[in-house]
Structure 1
Amino acid sequence: MSDISVIMYHYVREIKNSRFPEIKGLETELFREQLKFLKKHYNFVTTEEVIDSVYNNYKLPTKSVLLTFDDGYVDHYNNVFPILQEFDVQGSFYIPVKAVRDHKMLDVNKIHFILAAVFDKNKIILDIKFLIENSKLEYNLHDFDYYYKKLAVEWRHDTAEVIFIKRLLQVELAEDVRGKIVDFLFDKYLQINESEFAKELYLNETQVKEMLKGGMHIGCHGYNHFWWNRLKAEELEKEIDLSLNFLSEMGVDISNWTAAYPYGSYSEEVEKFLRQKKCRLAFTSEVSLANTSIKSSLLMGRLDTNNISKNSNELPNDWYKKSN
């Protein structure tokens, strides 16, 4: 049993000079620089080695680090995969099936690009206010001011306005009404065909198979990218089974399947279900080191890429010291 540093990535791309310079992610060159830093101070491990550590007492090296990538972006094939091969490092990629197979945008990504497309976030908020007021009776909603007072609180690197939009449209409202609002805003501000945008944004099946063949680990991130802890038992089972069927078709070894909770949405019930389905590892979005005990195997914390230096010449930070 040991602690390891598991790092979580999402967008890895050329951001500043792109169509959407406000997208929050990691510049490709900074990813390369971060890998140089990690190679100096950590020991890269594979997901399979972590599984062996949990279940077969395999001894991981000191200062072990594992790289994970969520949401199935084409960034991971175009930008990440070649660099990982260059450094001889495995990445673990957690893919929502709907985005890759059905070319449908995840709501979370629609929200990212709505925010990136509109400089004045108050325009979005005024639209939301209008839509909430017009949907109050149909969906039994509170007044707009109730939601704004509850949710508009500055947090981490986001303004109160951005946090309000994210929290309202990602979690606060019921799935049907928030989907309706997100679709309206996406159509208004992006003015682009959703299917074509999805094909541009996400991996395709050929790329997934090539990454798997190239030594990468491919894991479960659900079908729809729903909050797993909000699903009924039969809905969660369907969500996981659809994902496992996809992974099997891609050529993944289902006897060693792993998962990353969408939005970090775990609970005791979800953990118990994953254990029944023989999930080997599951990663949360809790900012912490991961522990390789069997008890913690489905509640493994991760560090955000922003917790780790992006300068290969810097000294290790506090996370490194804790993993000694």
Structure 2
Amino acid sequence: MLAVGNFHYIRKDFKAAYPSIFGVTPGQFRNQLKELAKYGKFVSQEDILNGIPKDEKAILISFDDGLKEQFKLAKPILDEMKIPFICFVNTSNFAEQKVSLVHQIHLLRSKIAPAELQKKIEKESTIQLTDEERNKAVNHYNYDEGEVARLKYLLNFRLGISELKKIINPLFEKYFDEYETATELYMREEQLAELWEQGSLGSHGHRHDPLGMLSQKQAKYDLEKSQEFFVSRFGEKAKTFSYPYGSFDACKNLSITLAETGFELAFSMERAVNIDPKENPFLLGRYDCNDLPGGKANIFQKENLFENPEYSKWHLYENGTSNQQ
């Protein structure tokens, strides 16, 4: 069995005018790793590619977005504790020195109050969430207040990419310098090279778009661009992938396209344990770090991580490989 924990921001503090992210400090990160070690064995990218026995209690540590703080603050702790991990990176951040739209939003939300930002969006767009979408928002962003969850859902899922860029890009340019921000926020290429050599690097797509919500042509183009980066820098394609946003809608109908572009494994954000990664390699479940033992909202307080957990099942639905046309 395989349980995967996913981390994003690792910072010494999270002070901001309007807190917009849920990260951990290095001390909290170390303590959570110690807690997780009680439940199973930490495994690497190579271990999972080679196969995890069903009776093994395996734990993978993963990071999304290729943030410099992950390399500077989390990697030394992992190296000291001899714990393998995977960093999934968006290749446009390095190939084009661009700040991903999702990070533009995070940065803007740290400076602009949610109500004010929502007013700016409504001024530029007539789209409003349905009752079903409002409920989806609260379920997906379960660590946020309702108003913030709905704002994030509107930004990340309801507005089209082109429309969202028209709204967010001018705002971002007003508050930030993109090149300086990208240089400060993301890892350097020599850091990526070190991770590649250690077998600790995977793809998070090229531009951090919700690929399952794009056309097949657009999704394939993004995956191909990401693989072009890996081949140009390291001479090989990346073997592992994590879906930007990770929701069911952002992951659907991509298994065949992922295989065609050279990937062997892909991780969603379905909160679930994987019985056998070989059975559903392109829809592996993954927990937010806050969900896991040692996290802020540990959902396993009364249970062992591997005793009667929720098992991944998204692959049983229409986005599974066997059901694609």
Match of 1:110 among 104, 112, 131: 104
Q: Which residue of 1 aligns with 2:323?
A: none
Match of 1:29 among 21, 27, 31: 27
Considering Cα pairs closer than 8 Å and 6+ residues apart, tell me whether 1 or 2 has the greater RCO: 1
State the Cα distance separating 1:186 from its structure 2 match.
2.4
State the Cα distance separating 1:298 from its structure 2 match.
1.0
Match of 1:218 among 201, 211, 228: 201
* Whole-angstrom distance in 2 between the partners of 1:218 and 1:82: 16
Cα gap change, 1:112 to 1:297, in 2 (>3 Å): same
* Whole-angstrom distance in 2 between the partners of 1:252 and 1:36: 36
SS at match of 1:67: strand
Q: Which residue of 1 aligns with 2:188?
A: 204
Q: Which residue of 1 aligns with 2:319?
A: none
Q: Which runs of 5+ in 2 are unaligned?
A: 310-325
For the 8 Å contact 2:204–2:244, the answer to whether it is kept is yes
SS at match of 2:92: helix
Q: Which protein is richer in strand relative to its size?
A: 1
* Whole-angstrom distance in 1 between the partners of 2:240 and 2:27: 29
For the 8 Å contact 2:2–2:277, the answer to whether it is kept is no
State the Cα distance separating 1:164 from its structure 2 match.
2.5
Q: Which protein is richer in helix relative to its size?
A: 1
Match of 2:242 among 260, 263, 288: 260
* Whole-angstrom distance in 2 between the partners of 1:116 and 1:151: 24
Match of 1:74, as an amino acid?
K
- TM-score, structure 2 as length reference: 0.83
Once the two structures are aligned, what percentage of the paired residues are identical?
Answer: 25
Q: Which residue of 2 aligns with 1:174?
A: 160
State the Cα distance separating 1:48 from its structure 2 match.
0.9
For the 8 Å contact 1:291–1:300, the answer to whether it is kept is no
Does residue 276 of structure 2 align to residue 284 of structure 1? no
Cα gap change, 1:231 to 1:127, in 2 (>3 Å): closer
Match of 1:185, as an amino acid?
L
SS at match of 2:287: strand
Q: Which runs of 4+ in 1 moved over 6 A?
A: none
State the Cα distance separating 1:225 from its structure 2 match.
1.3
- TM-score, structure 1 as length reference: 0.83
Deviations 1:250-300 (A, max 9, x none): 32753x7111111122223x1112223342111111110123253311110
Q: Larger radius of gyration, structure 1 or 2?
A: 1
Match of 1:228 among 211, 217, 221: 211
Note the aligned Cα RMSD (angstroms): 2.6
Q: Which residue of 2 aligns with 1:136?
A: none
Cα gap change, 1:317 to 1:74, in 2 (>3 Å): farther
How many residues are treated as equivalent by the alignment? 299
Structure 1 stretch displaced more, 178-187 or 16-25: 16-25
State the Cα distance separating 1:161 from its structure 2 match.
2.0
Q: Which runs of 5+ in 1 are unaligned?
A: 133-140
Q: Which residue of 1 aligns with 2:145?
A: 159
Does residue 117 of structure 2 align to residue 124 of structure 1? yes
